[in-house]
Amino acid sequence: MAVGFSKIQKQFMVLIGLFLVLTMVLHLVPVYYDYKQSVLLTVSIPRLGLFNNLNNRSRPIVKHISDKRKSDNIDIWKVIPDNDRIVAQVKFSPEVDPSLPAKTILMAHGVETWSVVSGQSTFVRHECPVRNCELLGSPPPDRSVDARMFKEIDLNSFMFDNLAHATPRHPDQVWIMFGLESPQASPNYDTFNDVINWTATYRYDSTLITPYDKFLIYDNFTMIEDYKPDKNYAEGKKKLAAMFVSNCYATNDRLDMVKTLQKYMQVDIYGACGTLSCDKWNQQDCFDKLKKDYKFYFSFENANCRDYITEKLFLNALR
């Protein structure tokens, strides 16, 4: 009797195993098909879009693909180990036929709000490798522009409800979002449905990287092991640490942490969140005060987000 039960049990386990295998196969087949479709859609996107076609007036239509690609990492620039994308993009210089009309870029809300001027002079003044581009503050009445650039803070549902009426979008036009704010301080873009083609932000996975600043090594850089400081940076400084902050409700609780530190050490807080003040319109006086009186400066961002490093480090602390 015991032997018979064992055979039935084994047969039952085999059936369960076959059922599980079939279930997994039926589940994986559509997933694999979706993945292949997503890969095909990803590969079909024009890689360097506007740049690749500087010598060609007829550009491929920019495609809006489905939500399947939102979690994918689509790189317009090749990622090479030990290669700095920022430097690569700055030095990128395609062959451009100067006889062709300049590519036009429409700047949302006018060129003045971007601290640039109309036309090509901004590209010439900054000695850009590619200068055959023209900035516009308003749409030309007689032709379509090649690209439109928006600030992330301006992107909202109300704006998009009116964009199509104000300036119709040509199918091969590139829309670019420029942003320096953290996601914590930016609008929600979930409903935009891939209306933006390129991003230009501080994040290293943006289409174009536009950081607040960048470290460069001096040609005569001294290796750390050979470095012998010839200056005592703490000499004559009577105060320990300072912090400049006006946003008292940062999402990373930086102010709470500093106030806890104040129980154990001296930390002076300047700005709306502290008891001391320094005229932010006269920044040099504030920096001089830091250099003269304080041994340390607390440089906290208002949000802990990927690659989000602002002037609080590059300007306030380092320069």
Q: Rank 149-163, 248-262, 269-283 by mean pLDDT and report only the highest.
A: 248-262
pTM attached to this predicted model: 0.67
Please state the domain extents for the chain.
81-209, 232-318
pLDDT at 111 over 50: yes
**pLDDT tens string 229-255:** 788 889 999 999 999 988 899 989 999
pLDDT at 60 over 70: no
Tokens of 97: 């036929």
Contact 103, 146 (CB under 8 A): yes
Sign, CA dihedral 8-9-11-12, equals positive
Give the amino acid at 191. T
Higher pLDDT among residues 43 and 250, named by residue: 250
Angle in degrees, CA 168, 170, 176, rounded to 5: 90
- Write down the pLDDT at residue 242: 95
- Write down the pLDDT at residue 29: 47
| CATH 3.30.2010 corresponds to the domain 81-209 | no
Contact 33, 25 (CB under 8 A): no
